[in-house]
Amino acid sequence: MERYFNIKFIIILLFAFLPSKAWLQEARLAAQYYQNGEYEKAATLYEKLYSSNGNNDYYFSKFTECLIELKEFDKVEKLIKNQIGLQPEALQYYVMLGNVYERDFKDDEAKKMYREAINKVEPNTSSVIKLGSSFVNLGKYDLAIETYEKGIELLNDDKAFARSLADLYRRTGDKDNMIKYYLSGINNYASNLSNLKTTFERTFEEDDYARLQSQLYSKIQENPDEVAYVELIEWTFIHEKEFDKALRQAKALDRRLDENGQRVYEIGNVAFNHGDYPTAIEAYEYITTQKGINSSYYLFSKSMLLKTKKEQLLQDSHYTTEQLKSIEQEYESFLQDYGYNSRSADLIIEYANFEAFYLNNYDKAIGLLKSVVEMQSASKDSRALAKLDLGDYYLIQGDRWESNLLYAQVDKDFNEGVLGEQARYKNALLSYFMGDFEWAQEQFDILKSATTKLISNDAIDKSVFILDNLGLDTTAVPLQLYATSELLVFQNKYEEAFQTLDSIEINFPEHGLEDDVLYLKAQIYKRERQYDKAIEQYQVILDKFKEEIRADNALFEMAELYENVLEDKEKAKSLYEQLFLEFDNSTFAVEARKRFRILRGDEI
């Protein structure tokens, strides 16, 4: 029985303190009146709400705001002075009174009242925050800053109001002090630095990162054990693309915190994606040598290490067979140690690609891919990728039926996915190579709506190409010869491809395929690393076929050769500029403008 009465008493108390429906309606109505500028009606309701809700500060503030809008300055002054008399320690009322004087154009009295409020602030966190917030609400950021800085002095704690001061200096545009107080209050963000990084990204201009770095160096010297400072300076190095410096910090933190290498691996990936291969290699080697085979990042790092070394070698157009063999040996050594299993499946696929396209060892590539296809423990995606590449290599060797079968298997297994779209595109391309143009075009038309933009764009290009060239003549022979040439290029049979392309020029002079023939010849010369001859073909396209579809491709690829292979940056810059000025509707225009700006030295 006693328990029943206790529960009943609690329920009665709860209902006693719950706001009545009528009170809530009055509060909403008062807010609506205020918003609509009906200050008399709003004032009446806010006065009532203030009186009936225990002298609530919010309703008092809204009531006084209404009176100010009604220019009843004497009345509101009297009300606020009365509140000050009742609560002299509540400094927000001094600020309210100062605001009344200011709105009544009594600036000297307003300043005096604001100053009195700041002078009266006590060494009490709550008192400082209330006064500071009152100034912030009026947009008086300088006075709020003065309040918080006095609070720091009174409490003898430079971290006490660091976050509030940092935000105020951000609002006033004082970047140095903003950074100073964000760093002083770093403990507010230590568990989630991403919030602070986001604030900096939204606020900073490019030269502000140097300001941050300068202060971070000082902070690290003063507080060498504060991990957050090191993580922040690592982040600034990444932003400035100084990946070697970022890696140095990441390795230091990894050792100090006895981590698993994750942050080092991530720096390696960022460096790789930006083409800083030496830094990426250093990062991956740190994990493979310092963390060892039991590290959860060992396999990823070893795989990326091999990939990075390969990319670093291939970016030099003068690489040798001996250098390629050295990379091959590293793949072999790793697989001997780690084994052919589900975890190494993706690396095996990459190794097969290297054997096929750089060492022309298709038999070995096919054997590697078969091992993945037959690997029941490998993921479905890995086995499908292996089948797609295997289909390509069989086609290169002339076995179109095996290619067709493998593509069809992936299409069936991934009918709704990206891998299925890739398989359908490859099968359509196979039909195109074989001269079944109508069926191929139907498939390309379907793939125009493919999920991936690359497949969609390629499908559109092929569909339009077939349509244009089938309509030129009563015969499909020129198109058949061109498709055969593309297949021969795919199979690395360059001499036969040249002969077939020459036959088009000889037997079908001034045919609409002229620019395409020149373009395909340029692709062959690029593969053979005869870059001067490739440029000659591109230049003929630009001189004679500037209005044709291959012109912008030729210009862009010629610019790339000058930039990355021939290292004539000025010539490359000139060609990129020509592209976005003369071919402004080209799909390459945006990228050309970006590269032009980089070569010009602009900050991107």
Single-letter code of the amino acid located at 399: D
Single-letter code of the amino acid located at 409: Q
Calculate mean pLDDT across residues 58-68.
90
pLDDT band at 468 (very low <50, low <70, confident <90, very high): confident
d(CA 581, CA 131): 58
Q: Which of 596, 353, 517, 267 is nearest to 588 (CA)?
A: 596
| Spatial contact of 239 and 203, defined as CB atoms under 8 Å apart | no
d(CA 90, CA 120): 10
Q: Is 593 exposed, middle or buried (0-12, 13-18, 19+ CB in 10 A)?
A: middle
pLDDT at 18: 44
At 355-380, the pLDDT tens digits run 999 999 999 999 999 999 999 999 99
Q: Is 569 exposed, middle or buried (0-12, 13-18, 19+ CB in 10 A)?
A: middle
pLDDT at 46: 86
**10 Å Cβ neighbour count for 357?**
17
pLDDT at 295: 87
Single-letter code of the amino acid located at 571: K
In the Cβ-directed half-sphere of 594, how many Cα atoms lie within 13 Å? 7
Tell whether the model's pLDDT for residue 530 goes beyond 50. yes
Q: Which of 419, 515, 532, 500 is nearest to 465 (CA)?
A: 515
Q: What is the dihedral of CA 247, 251, 254, 255, to 10 degrees?
A: -170
**Which ranges of 339-399 would DSSP assign to H, the alpha helix?**
345-358, 362-373, 380-396
pTM above 0.85, yes or no: no
pLDDT band at 412 (very low <50, low <70, confident <90, very high): very high
pLDDT at 256: 93
d(CA 547, CA 7): 87
**10 Å Cβ neighbour count for 54?**
8
Q: Which fold has domain 478-600?
A: 1.25.40
Q: Which of 245, 284, 244, 278 is nearest to 264 (CA)?
A: 284
| Spatial contact of 231 and 197, defined as CB atoms under 8 Å apart | no
Alpha-carbon distances of 16 from 11, 22, 49, rounded to whole Å: 9, 14, 17
At 517-529, the pLDDT tens digits run 999 999 999 999 9
d(CA 381, CA 348): 14
| Spatial contact of 407 and 422, defined as CB atoms under 8 Å apart | no
d(CA 336, CA 339): 5
Calculate mean pLDDT across residues 424-440.
95
At 472-517, the pLDDT tens digits run 555 789 999 999 999 999 999 999 999 999 999 999 988 889 999 9
Tell whether the model's pLDDT for residue 53 goes beyond 80. no
d(CA 348, CA 389): 12
At 92-150, the pLDDT tens digits run 999 999 999 999 999 999 999 999 999 999 999 999 999 999 999 999 999 999 999 99
Using only C-alpha atoms, the chain has a radius of gyration, in whole angstroms, of: 36
Query: What are the residue boundaries of the structural domains of the chain, listed by start?
Result: 478-600
Handedness of CA 270, 273, 276, 282 (dihedral sign): positive
Q: Which residue has the higher pLDDT, 292 or 540?
A: 540
Residue 425 tokens, joined: 């595109």
| Spatial contact of 491 and 398, defined as CB atoms under 8 Å apart | yes
d(CA 306, CA 234): 25
d(CA 349, CA 354): 9
Calculate mean pLDDT across residues 448-464.
90
pLDDT at 436: 94
pLDDT at 4: 43
Q: Which of 355, 345, 439 is nearest to 385 (CA)?
A: 345
Any long-range contacts for 545-549 (C-beta under 8 Å, 24+ apart)?
545/514, 545/515, 545/518, 548/515, 549/515
